[in-house]
């Protein structure tokens, strides 16, 4: 399996984990807003990373990668907010935060390498 395939799977699996975790939370106005935002940003990471691997040019690849980095950073913010508000079991949030932090590091590094092309 190559790098692109590995991270296509990881970003997709991360967004699925976010959807499953947040879909089970009870309804309230604040949770509803946060749920919508984190699901949107995490699925955007997966969708845009998929577009990176299919880009037609280096410029297009870099532009899509910029979106991936922006969206994974936003997802990280929502996870921090959720952790501070104690909406989710600390063990569950730790797993999500750990994967998110790893994805932030990898995607930021990849974006930097693309900027050097």
How many domains does the structure of the chain reveal?
Answer: 1
Please name the residues in contact with 61: beta carbons below 8 A apart, sequence gap of 6 or more.
Answer: 52, 55, 114
Judge whether 108 lies within some domain. Answer: yes
- On whether residue 78 sits in a domain, the answer given is yes
CA distance 57 to 41: 24
Banded model confidence at residue 50, pLDDT cuts 50, 70, 90: very high
Given a cut of 80, is residue 38 above it in pLDDT? Answer: yes
Predicted local confidence at residue 3, as pLDDT: 87
Question: Is the CB of residue 18 less than 8 Å from the CB of residue 96?
Answer: yes
Q: Give the CATH number for residue 61.
A: 1.20.1440.60
pTM: 0.93
Domain residue limits at 103: 3-19+29-115
Domain membership flag for residue 46: yes
Instruction: Tell me if 24 is assigned to some domain.
Output: no
Most confident option among 4-8, 22-26, 74-78: 74-78
Contacts of 10 (CB under 8 A, 6+ apart): 99, 103
**HSE of 104, CA atoms in CB hemisphere, 13 A:** 16
């Amino acid at each position: 399996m190559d790098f692109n395939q590995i991270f296509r799977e990881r970003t997709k699996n991360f967004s699925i984990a976010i959807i499953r975790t947040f879909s089970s939370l009870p309804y309230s106005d604040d949770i509803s807003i946060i749920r919508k935002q984190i699901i949107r940003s995490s699925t955007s990471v997966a969708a845009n990373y998929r577009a990176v691997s299919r880009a037609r040019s280096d410029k297009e690849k870099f532009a899509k990668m910029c979106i991936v980095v922006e969206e994974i950073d936003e997802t990280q913010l929502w996870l921090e907010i959720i952790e501070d508000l104690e909406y989710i079991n600390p063990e569950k949030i730790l797993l999500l935060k750990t994967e998110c932090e790893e994805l932030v590091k990898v995607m930021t590094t990849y974006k930097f390498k693309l900027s050097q092309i």
